[in-house]
Chains A and B, each alone.
Chain A
């Protein structure tokens, strides 16, 4: 039994406690109700004592309370003792509040009682709800943002990844959280670099930017642009790394494609020697593609020149007026322009260019915009004039090639009187042994005289023919000569489905030569090579013309892989009227040989390694001549 002092002590204790304390008997009737309980529930103690404690409970708890008590009385077990639970408490004014209830038993055989301590947890509840809401909102933000968010701890383990991160990486969140970031998604070859970067970021105070590939669950590689911030504790200890990333794979791909396309266009323009420009007349500004600068022989940095400067510094002086006229026509309304002119490069080189222009109105200011292309057609123009020169030379060569036919004719002419002379002489010899043949013999001798004179006439004719062909020599680049010949030779080669290959040595010394005669020789050698190829096995249908300098001479060789020259005829090959061809005159090589000898050169032949014949002519170089003098 408590003493009076003990009772006072208990009363003081109960009243001083901030939590509500309620003591009930075994039937649930309230015996004690402390000051905090009065404040909390709004009942004065005298009013509530003797009432059932369920009066203080929300509907749900009230319904169960009596059964709790009965259960305790029947079984002696109280679930609540020592554990406490959260309940809904009911104030006198009918309002409810969340409360934490802990219950203790005051044991007694006849009259066991219970003490309940009640703590108002409505503020805690509200705070938690607010926190939960805040957390949900953050999660929502994390999940709705189109940016990958990943946090990894100092060991590289993933502590956070948002929905977008999971989506891009192709993993479920559970497959990422707690895993090593580098092992899981960074491609093997990039792993060391990625780790090193995070290591370096530890000391950084500003967010770092990096572009790194990640490997998705499906095995794709995506390129991500990351911004990484270091999260530190209040003691500046690194806690984790928070990275936000953007998938730039498509963007980068598009950029790469654009760049590639641009570089293709540049290359195409370069190959075609075709530049394009855009000129805004109102502002006088222009854009030039790189190739424009190349064609004009300018550095890229020089920038498009103004119209006046262009006319003055870029145009060939002879073409300025024509250019100005054409340009004026465009400015005064002609919708397109198409003209050729010459430009002068800073190094003095002259280029032939073809300009196309097209006019349009600038949609923003209505000003005239001229766009178009500039095409370097120098090679074509030169080829055209070369072709013309070649044409003239051809006529010359044509005249010369009749020389061969004429020589054949002359040989025939010479052979006729010789035959007649020999035959008359032999007939006369026979007749002289017979009777009454004096008249016949006399006639024969007269004829012999006449035919001898006829032969002399033929020879005079031949000599005068040769005399008209005194060589006109000039310093000659044999490479150029071969190049010029190419047009003719290629036509022949194509007609015979033979490939012509030129292998010309650079920086060949010049020779003193009659170009037409040397071309005649080379053409003759080339045609022989074609015939030899036709007669050959047909395995290698290729003829090569080479040039090279040997000591103080230049050699041109015509190499075929044809039938070759049998040794039994090799000795006769340069003899006049010697031929193995049905259509041959037997003069080609003989004339060629005499032409080369007249040039102080040598015409020879050797076997092509692997079969066929190589004809080669060597001519002394100009320098060599000078040395001799």
Chain B
């Protein structure tokens, strides 16, 4: 599944709107999968698939906002672009507050929608890279010995070797050896690189 090309997932209860958008996206060569309700999408969602979600905000039963909330709860990181009606600005604002990439008002210019979708796909790629990278950093941190992790935490806090030696009640020479091992194991090219990796790993 992971090998599939990034896909636009389109959820809209209106057949005409859904079909016309699908036709438009196909005309520019974007893979599209359509769903006529929020529930249908939820039932078929695959968190590992790349792409973005184009979501009608106003739908019967489960609204676009509710679906967004459910995906957040499930820790799906797929970027969401909302399609809103004329009077839905406040709902759109709420959607943005909950992490939507963007929204677009009906009716829309085709290029506007396509631009937003491309931005959404790019965002997904970056997110997944970050995630991958973050997962890698976390794995490497887990490989450190307890003592090395202590040293890493103190180094990340900006403490000098001498101070770390005092804190851990070991010789300064010992700290230097631990520190070299940490740099090597983490694959850090510099102290700044190491600190950035620690910050990245601590991000939720």
Contacts and interface: CB of A to CB of B under 8 A. Distances in A.
B16 A431 contact: no
B110 A581 contact: no
Interface in B48-107: 58, 83, 85-87, 89-91, 94, 106-107
Nearest to B89: A579
A408 B87 contact: yes
B97 to A, nearest CB: 12
B157 interface: no
A110 B26 CA distance: 185
A345 interface: no
Interface in A404-458: 408, 411-412, 415-424, 426-427, 430-431, 434, 437, 440, 443-444, 447, 450-451, 454
Interface residues of B, number: 25
A426 B58 contact: no
A420 B14 contact: yes
B94 A582 contact: yes
B27 A431 contact: yes
Given A412-B85, A434-B27, A577-B87, A419 B20 contact: yes
A424 B17 CA distance: 9
A423 B20 contact: yes
Chain A contact residues, majority secondary structure:
helix
Contacts of A426: 24, 109-110
Interface string A567-604: 00000000001011111111000000000000000000
Contacts of A418: 106-107
Contacts of A447: 16, 19-20
Nearest to B113: A423
A443 B109 CA distance: 20
B110 A430 contact: yes
Contacts of A434: 27
B20 A444 contact: yes
Nearest to A582: B90
Nearest to A586: B87
A493 B41 CA distance: 43
A218 B108 CA distance: 98
Contacts of A582: 90-91, 94
B86 A417 contact: no
B107 A423 contact: yes
Nearest to B28: A430
A443 B19 CA distance: 10
A422 B94 CA distance: 27
A581 B88 CA distance: 10
Interface centre among B20, B58, B89, by most chain A C-beta atoms within 10 angstroms, is B20
A411 B87 contact: yes
A412 B85 CA distance: 7
B27 A416 contact: no
Given A430-B110, A577-B86, A579-B90, A420 B27 contact: no
B168 interface: no
A444 B19 CA distance: 9
B107 A422 contact: yes
Contact of B24 (A412, A430, A586): A430
Given A411-B86, A426-B109, A579-B87, A416 B14 contact: yes
Contacts of B85: 411-412, 415
B107 A585 contact: no
Chain B contact residues, majority secondary structure:
helix
Contact of A419 (B23, B27, B91, B108): B108
A454 B58 CA distance: 19
Contact of B20 (A412, A427, A437): A427
Contacts of A408: 87
Nearest to B93: A582
A439 to B, nearest CB: 11
A386 to B, nearest CB: 36
A415 to B, nearest CB: 5
Contacts of A440: 23, 26-27
Nearest to A411: B86
Contacts of A450: 16
Interface string B7-35: 00000001011011101101110000000
B110 A412 contact: no
Contacts of B109: 422, 426
Contacts of A427: 20, 23-24, 26-27, 110
A415 B106 contact: yes
Contacts of A451: 16
Contacts of A581: 90
A416 B20 CA distance: 11
B67 to A, nearest CB: 18
Contacts of B17: 416, 419-420, 423
A534 to B, nearest CB: 15
Contacts of A580: 90
Interface string A67-99: 000000000000000000000000000000000
Contacts of B14: 416, 419-420
B16 A454 contact: yes
Interface centre among A415, A430, A582, A585, by most chain B C-beta atoms within 10 angstroms, is A415
Nearest to A451: B16
Nearest to A431: B27
Contacts of A444: 20, 23
Interface in A521-538: none
Contacts of B28: 430
Contact of B108 (A422, A443, A577): A422
Interface centre among A416, A434, A579, by most chain B C-beta atoms within 10 angstroms, is A416
B64 to A, nearest CB: 13
Contact of B16 (A411, A420, A430, A585): A420
A420 B20 contact: yes
A585 B20 contact: no
Nearest to B15: A420
Contacts of B89: 579
A255 B95 CA distance: 78
A416 B87 contact: no
Interface centre among A420, A430, A580, A582, by most chain B C-beta atoms within 10 angstroms, is A420
A584 B16 contact: no
Nearest to A433: B27
A415 B107 contact: yes
Given A430-B27, A440-B23, A415 B16 contact: no
Interface string B107-151: 111100000000000000000000000000000000000000000
A416 B83 CA distance: 11
Contact of A412 (B16, B58, B90, B91): B58
A454 B23 CA distance: 19
Interface of B: 14, 16-17, 19-21, 23-24, 26-28, 58, 83, 85-87, 89-91, 94, 106-110
6 contacts: A411-B86, A412-B85, A416-B17, A420-B17, A440-B26, A582-B90
Closest 5 CB pairs of A and B: A426-B110, A420-B16, A423-B20, A427-B24, A582-B90
Given A440-B27, A447-B20, 7 more contacts: A416-B17, A420-B19, A422-B107, A423-B23, A424-B24, A440-B26, A582-B94
